[in-house]
C-alpha cells in the first residue's frame, strides 16, 4: 500500500473504541491497524503473513500481523522480510501484489441457526444392539453409559421393576440420554413357572415401575432366562426380545471372555446379551464399544434396529436378531 492507500482505509473503516460495533475488515485501534474477520470483532488475523486487499482495487498486498494481530510497518518481520510504512511486503523496493480474487477469504460467515439434527441410523450400514439385563445397578450402569456416550452409542436396558426405586438417578439418566428402557419383569421370576395372572402381574408391575421413575412407557419385554411356554407367550402383551449372542458374563464374570464372546462372533443385526450387574461386564464394554465402532458398527437400541430393518415388532412374538 502507498500512503494514499492507508488514507483510503481510514476513510473507509470506522475508527472504533473497545465497545463500538463495526464491520469486518481493517480496523484502526489504539495499538495500530488490525484485521477483523467477524462483524463483532471476536475473531481476527494474527501471527503471520496474509494477502489482503487494502483499498478495493482487486489487488492484494501481503501484510504481516504480529502475535496480537497488529500490522507491522516500516520494519523487518521476524522471518527477515521488509515491510514498508504501510505494512506491505516489499522486495527490491517493489510492493508485492496479486489479484485479490486469487486470495483465500478470511471472513467467517455467521452460520444460520438450524434445528438440531436428530439421531440418524443408516439402514445400509452394519449395526448391533447391545442389551443389558437385571439392572438398574448404578456402579455398572453408569460405566456403560459413560462409554456409550463417548462413542455416540445407545443400548437397551431390560430392568427389573423392584430395583428401580433404589437407583432412580440412574434410571433418569437412561431416559435423558436416549437409551431404551424395557421391562425384565418386576421380580425376575421365571415366567414359565407362573400361571397366567401371575405372568401378567410381573409384566404390568415391571412396566409401572419404569413409568414411575422415568416417565417412559416401555414397549419391549425380555423374559427372565429367556424361559417361555405357551402360557407365557399368550400373556405377555409386548414384543419379547431374546438374543443371538449370549456372552454368559453372569457365569464367567471375566472381562476378557466377555469381550471375546462378542468380538469373535458379532455380525450385522445381532442382539447381544450382557448383564448390568458385574464390574467385569462394565470393563468389557469399555473394550467392546470402541472396537465395534472401529469396525463400522452403529450401536443402536433394539427398536432402532428393528425400524431400520423394516420390522414391525408385534406383541406376543419372539425376536432373536435382525440379521439381513
Active site residues: 133, 275
Other residues' Cβ atoms within 10 Å of the Cβ of residue 47? 11
Q: Rounded distance, CA 100 to CA 56, Å?
A: 9
Which residues on adjacent β-strands are paired with residue 26? 35
Q: Rounded distance, CA 87 to CA 1, Å?
A: 7
Q: What's the grid cell of residue 236?
A: 405377555
Q: Rounded distance, CA 258 to CA 256, Å?
A: 5
Q: Rounded distance, CA 246 to CA 45, Å?
A: 57
What pairing do the DSSP bridges indicate for beta strands 240-241 and 89-91?
Answer: unpaired
Kindly give the interhelix angle for 168-176 and 196-214, rounded to the nearest 10 degrees: 80
Q: What's the grid cell of residue 240?
A: 419379547
Question: Phi-psi category of 261—alpha, beta or left, where left has phi over 0 and alpha has psi -120 to 50?
Answer: alpha
Amino acid at each position: 500500500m502507498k500512503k494514499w492507500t492507508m488514507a483510503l482505509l481510514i476513510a473507509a473503516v470506522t475508527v472504533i473504541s473497545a465497545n463500538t460495533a463495526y464491520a469486518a475488515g481493517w480496523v484502526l485501534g489504539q495499538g495500530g491497524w488490525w484485521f477483523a474477520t467477524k462483524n463483532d470483532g471476536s475473531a481476527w488475523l494474527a501471527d503471520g503473513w496474509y494477502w489482503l486487499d487494502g483499498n478495493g482495487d482487486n489487488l492484494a498486498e501481503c501484510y504481516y500481523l504480529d502475535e496480537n494481530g497488529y500490522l507491522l510497518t516500516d520494519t523487518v518481520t521476524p522471518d527477515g522480510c521488509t515491510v514498508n510504512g504501510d505494512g506491505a511486503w516489499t522486495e527490491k523496493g517493489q510492493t508485492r501484489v496479486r489479484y485479490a480474487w486469487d486470495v483465500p477469504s478470511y471472513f467467517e460467515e455467521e452460520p444460520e441457526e438450524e434445528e438440531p439434527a436428530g439421531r440418524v441410523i443408516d439402514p445400509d450400514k452394519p449395526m448391533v444392539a447391545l442389551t443389558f439385563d437385571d439392572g438398574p445397578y448404578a456402579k455398572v450402569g453408569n460405566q456403560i453409559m459413560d462409554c456409550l456416550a463417548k462413542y455416540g452409542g445407545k443400548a437397551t436396558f431390560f430392568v427389573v421393576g423392584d430395583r428401580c426405586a433404589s437407583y432412580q438417578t440412574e434410571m433418569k439418566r437412561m431416559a435423558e440420554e436416549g437409551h431404551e428402557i424395557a421391562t425384565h419383569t418386576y421380580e425376575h421370576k421365571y415366567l414359565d413357572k407362573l400361571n397366567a395372572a401371575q405372568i401378567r402381574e410381573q409384566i404390568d408391575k415391571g412396566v409401572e415401575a419404569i413409568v414411575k421413575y422415568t416417565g417412559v412407557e416401555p414397549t419391549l419385554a425380555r423374559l427372565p432366562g429367556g424361559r417361555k411356554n405357551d402360557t407365557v407367550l399368550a400373556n405377555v402383551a409386548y414384543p419379547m426380545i431374546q438374543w443371538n449372542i449370549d456372552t454368559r458374563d453372569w457365569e464367567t464374570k471375566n472381562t476378557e471372555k466377555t469381550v471375546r464372546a462378542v468380538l469373535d462372533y458379532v455380525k450385522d443385526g445381532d442382539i447381544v446379551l450382557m448383564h448390568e450387574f458385574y464390574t467385569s461386564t462394565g470393563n468389557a464394554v469399555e473394550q467392546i464399544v470402541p472396537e465395534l465402532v472401529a469396525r463400522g458398527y452403529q450401536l443402536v437400541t433394539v427398536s432402532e434396529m428393528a425400524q431400520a430393518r423394516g420390522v414391525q415388532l408385534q406383541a406376543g412374538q419372539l425376536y432373536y436378531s435382525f440379521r439381513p
